[in-house]
Amino acid sequence: MDRINKIGLPVVLIIMFSIIGLMKSAVSIGYGEAGVLFKTFGDGTVVDEPALGEGFHLILPWNKVYLYNVKQQEVFESQMQVLSSNGLEISLDVSVLYQPKADQLGLLHQTKGSNYLDIVIVPNIRAVARSVVGRYTPEQLYSTKRDAIESEIYDELKKGVEAQYVQINDVLVRDVTLPNTIKQAIERKLSQEQMSLEYEFKLESARKEAEKVRIDAKGKADANRILNSSLTTNILRDKGIEATTKLAESPNSKVIVIGSGKDGLPIILGNQ
C-alpha cells in the first residue's frame, strides 16, 4: 500500500501539472482580435513574426499572449475648446475612426502598449484640431468650411500617427459651437447677404427681360424697313391685279370694275 501511495502521488502530481501547463498553453483568440506573443525566456515581445490570429493556439506555458482589438473603433472627443483665427473660442465635437495596424501589432505593443489610444490618438486629435481650426474665422467654421476642416484634420492626423503603428480611417466633425453673440451676428450677416443676392437676381432678370424686348422691337423695325423699301409702286400694282383676278375667278363673287383707284389699282365692287 505504501508503495502504491508512493507511486500514485507522483503520477497525480504529474497529471495535475500537465493539466495546469496545458491550460496555460492554450490561448483562444476571439473574432476581430489578434494576439501579441511575449517570450518570457526569449527576446520578449515578438515583433518579427505576424500576430496570432483568431482561433485556438498552443504556446509554451511560461510565455504570454496580449490580446488587441483590431477592428475599426471610434473615439469621440466632445466639446474641445479651440481658438479661431481671430482668437475667439470655439467648441468642437469630433469623431475619429481608427484601428491598430495588425501587421505591426508587436511594435505597437512594444513601444506604446495597450493604452495606445490615450498615448497616441487622443493627444494628436486635440493638437491637430487646434491647428486646423486656428486657420479659419468663426464665419467660415459656421457656414462653408465644415468639409475642409474634416479633410485637413484627417490628413494631418493620419500623418501624425502613421509612424506609430495606428491607422486613421476617417474623421467626422459632429458639431461646431460658436458663442451665441457671434452666431447671431453671423446669421444676421448671412440673411442680409441672401437678401442682397435675391435683389441682384431680380435686377438681372429685369435687365434681361428689357434687353429681350429691345431686341424684339429692333427686329420688327428692321423687318418693316426692309419690307417698305422693297414695296415699289409696280410691285403693289401687280399684287393688286393678282388679287383682283383671283376674286373674279371665285364662284362666290361678282366683280364690277369701275374706273381706277389710287396708284392705278382697280376698284372692286361685288357681292358674296
Which residues make Cβ contacts (< 8 Å) with residue 180, sequence separation at least 6? none
Interval 28-69: pLDDT, tens: 888 999 999 998 888 899 998 888 988 888 888 888 999 999
Residue 225 in this model has a pLDDT that exceeds 70: yes
- Look at 52-61, 123-132, 188-197, 221-230 and tell me which has the smallest mean pLDDT: 188-197
Residue 18 has pLDDT above 70, yes or no: no
Buried/exposed 104-114: b ≥16 CB within 10 Å, e otherwise: bbbbbbbebee
* CA 239 – CA 228 distance, rounded (Å): 15
| DSSP H helices in the chain | 2-25, 105-111, 116, 122-133, 138-143, 146-161, 180-230, 233-249
Count of alpha carbons within 13 angstroms of residue 260, beta-carbon side: 5
Q: What is the pTM of this model?
A: 0.61
What percent of the chain shows pLDDT beyond 70? Answer: 64
For the record, the C-alpha cell of 47 comes out as 515583433
- The whole-chain average pLDDT of the chain stands at 77
Categorize the per-residue pLDDT at 272 as very low, low, confident or very high, splitting at 50, 70 and 90.
Answer: very low
| pLDDT surpassing 50 at residue 91 | yes
